[in-house]
Chain A
Amino acid sequence: MEGPKIYGYIYGFPITQTLVNMWIIFAIVFVLCYVLTKNMEKIPRKTQVIAEVMIDSMDNLVGQTMGKDKMGFAPYMLALIMFLAVANTSGLYGLRSPTADLNVTVGLALMTFFMTQGFGLKSKGIGGYLKSFLQPMPFLLPINIIGELANPVSLSFRLFGNMLGGLIIMSLLYSGLAGLIYLPLVIPIPFHFYFDIFAGLLQSFIFVMLSMVFVSMAMD
């Protein structure tokens, strides 16, 4: 089991497999968005219906989870879940999943972390924000700070651990089946179904849900 390969360096900045795979995933998401929203009409055609269902269900989810006053987060959350859904299932089309690299998941979790702190500060004001660390009792301040810092850690490691576990099992399975003739075609199918489709989509949903819960809890 090895980490992502390094293809080369640009000005000393390593171009890793993760980075290249993320470019591919960005391209896939861009093409998907372009195809789904091309030629929009009053009476929607098939592709437009898919886009409308995605946006509608995200609006519903944000409205129910964060509250109607925070609908502005829906586009960010939809973008996040689209990237994560494609990235987590990328084992299906033979890419090493970028979310099985801690750098990516920590980056995503830090985005949520700074959103949590920033929007908390914005909606409560400096006084209210600092006071929220003294709730419910002032002596709980250290615990509140640790709890706040533990959120991005658990958020990033949850996604990373689940994706890496799936990746390791799949690569061990393929190396165990190497050399056999027909079995490598059939046996991995249920494993792909569980580790890539079920676990991948579930973890992307959970990441986005937890981001929404953290941000809306910091704002209320």
Chain B
Amino acid sequence: MIDMTNVVDLVLEFLMQFDAKTLILAGSAIGAGLAMICGIGPGIGQGFAAGKGAEATGRNPKVMKDVISTMLLGAAVAETSGILALVVALILLFANPFVAMSASMWILSASAIACGLAMIAGIGPGIGQGFAAGKAAEGVGLRPELKGIVNRTMFLGQAVAQTTGIYALIIALILMYANPFVG
């Protein structure tokens, strides 16, 4: 049986032999990877939208043009949370603000990891918006003459579904540019 406090001590001791910058960069690398887990959401959502679009087209090939445009517009909005995650990951990789900060390296590297963790929230909006896009494509397939209002309703709902993903981005940006734990 290994003594748990001993293990923690060993890990901390192992980490302490590196200098501050190494640990911050390591945290940023983990954060960048974690952020991209968010891609699960848009993937599922857009896949659902594509499936619904294919179904609607299969049922009535004449509406293909309308269905495809609604599906692509909806899927492009569902992409948003993936793009926001990409923004955070790219900042961590190429314009890392933590390197220039002067604070405890633990706080900085933990903040870098937290930026990535926060962006995982994007899974939800991605799936939800994709679901909305799929249902809209289905609706347009049934009644192509209502495409205008269906698209409008879809955009409105998708914008509201995006809210929590935007909150996650705000927290990630606060951690990077206005970190309350620093200074």
Contact = CB atoms under 8 A, between A and B. Distances in A.
B91 A202 contact: no
A165 B163 contact: no
Interface of B: 76-77, 80, 83-84, 86-87, 90-91, 94-95, 97, 149, 152, 155-156, 159-160, 162-163, 166-167, 169-170, 173, 177
Contacts of B173: 164
Q: Which of B77, B87, B94: most chain A Cβ within 10 A?
A: B87
A20 interface: no
Given A1-B95, A168-B90, A172-B95, A210 B155 contact: no
A117 to B, nearest CB: 20
Contacts of A95: none
Nearest to A164: B173
Interface of A: 1, 64, 154, 157-158, 161-162, 164-165, 168-169, 172, 175-176, 194, 198-199, 202, 205-206, 209-210, 213
Contacts of A209: 152, 155-156, 159
Given A168-B90, A172-B90, A202-B77, A154 B156 contact: no
B27 to A, nearest CB: 19
A26 B16 CA distance: 55
A162 B95 contact: no
A-side interface mostly: helix
B87 A168 contact: yes
B-side interface mostly: helix
A213 B160 CA distance: 12
A103 B81 CA distance: 23
Given A169-B86, A202-B155, A210-B159, A161 B169 contact: yes
Given A154-B166, A209-B152, A169 B83 contact: yes
B90 A158 contact: no
B85 to A, nearest CB: 10
A157 B170 CA distance: 8
B91 A168 contact: yes
A194 B73 CA distance: 11
Contacts of A157: 163, 166-167, 170
Nearest to A209: B156
Contacts of A176: 94
Given A176-B94, A206-B155, A210-B159, A165 B169 contact: yes
B80 A162 contact: yes
Contacts of A64: 149
Contacts of A198: 76
A216 to B, nearest CB: 13
Contacts of B94: 172, 175-176
Given A158-B166, A176-B94, A198-B76, A165 B84 contact: yes
Q: Which of A64, A168, A210: most chain B Cβ within 10 A?
A: A168
A162 B167 CA distance: 11
A205 B148 CA distance: 14
Contact of A158 (B76, B86, B149, B159): B159
Contacts of B97: 1
Contacts of B80: 162, 199
Q: Which of B80, B84, B159, B177: most chain A Cβ within 10 A?
A: B159
Contact of A161 (B91, B95, B170): B170
